[in-house]
Amino acid sequence: MEKSILNNSKIFLSTQTKDKNFLASHDLCIGIDKDDNPKYKEIIVTIADVVQTEATDVQATIKEKKDVKKKVYALKFKEPYKPYILNATIVRQAIEQATGTRVLNKWIGKRISFYVKPNEKAFGKLHDVLRVRPTAPKAAVKGVCSDCDGKIVDVEGFTAEQIANGSMAKYGRYICFECGQKLKNQKSVTEMVDEMEETK
């Protein structure tokens, strides 16, 4: 059972946990390069809520041989992405810098960027970790692609407005069809726009 904690001004950390129901670096993986290293996309999301919920504590579950749940604090987003567990001081500080505030209820409606930092040492091993950029994403301008700064134009019977509105609903930013193809692994215009429309 999750609950909003916006009336709680306390800045917090969660217990260490891994749970497939929450956003992680592998969710941003879009393939591998010629050297068999994973390639990641960057995503921009809009904070919708900060909640207290439960997640599986993997280490405790393995140790006790049963599903062990821990209370965690997580961000929820307007876009169709999994919630994100607030589990690192460095991430919380980055969110504070990107939003310009430490007050939780003022995070709502703010946009932040997630990216993956490869080969970061943690717990004695190297990991590809999910991080938040400490700067706010640039303001979205309708008609201009947020990824390449090119103009969003009509493509194969779809208007620029349809593509712009669909990409905002799907990805939380305006993107042109060419950049949308990269994100959707070269799907057709019809498939991409149809998927975007389904998120409205």
Buried-state track 155-188, b at ≥16 Cβ within 10 A, e below 16: beebebebbbbbbbbbbbbbbbbebbbebbeeee
Is there a contact between 131 and 40 (Cβ–Cβ < 8 Å)? no
pLDDT above 80 (res 111): yes
Q: Quote the CA–CA distance of 163 and 190 in Å, as a whole number.
A: 10
pLDDT at 4: 52
48-52, 64-68, 95-99: the lowest-pLDDT one? 64-68
Q: Roughly how many angstroms between the first and final C-alpha of the chain, as a whole number?
A: 26
Domain coordinates in residue numbering, the chain: 3-132, 140-200
Q: Write down the pLDDT at residue 9.
A: 38
Is the model's pLDDT at 189 over the cut of 50? no
Could you tell me how far CA 155 lies from the centroid of its own chain? 27
- pLDDT (mean) for 55-62: 78
H-state helical runs in the chain: 58-64, 89-99, 160-171, 177-183, 189-198
Classified as helix, coil or strand, 112 is strand
The residue among 179, 35, 151 whose CA lies nearest residue 189 is 179
Assign 10 a pLDDT band (cuts: 50, 70, 90).
very low
Mean pLDDT throughout 29-52? 87
**Rounded-to-integer distance, Cα 48 and Cα 70, Å:** 22
- Per-residue pLDDT at 84: 93
DSSP string, 137-162: PPPP-TTB-TTT-PBP--BTTB-HHH
pLDDT band at residue 187, thresholds of 50, 70 and 90? Answer: very low
pLDDT-based confidence at 15, cuts 50/70/90? very low
Instruction: Compute the chain's Rg from CA coordinates.
Output: 18
Q: What is the pLDDT of residue 20?
A: 82
Q: Please report which helix (H) or strand (E) contains residue 69, including its range.
A: strand 69-77
CA separation for the pair 19, 54 (Å, rounded)? 10
pLDDT of residue 116: 92
What is the arithmetic mean of pLDDT over 178-193?
Answer: 61
Instruction: Tell me the C-alpha distance between 144 and 141, whole Å.
Output: 6
Distance set, CA 15 to CA 51, 86, 113, 120, 160 (Å): 15, 9, 23, 19, 45
The number of angstroms, rounded, from the C-alpha of 52 to the middle of its chain's C-alpha atoms is 18
The per-residue pLDDT for 162 is: 92
pLDDT at residue 141, as a whole number: 76
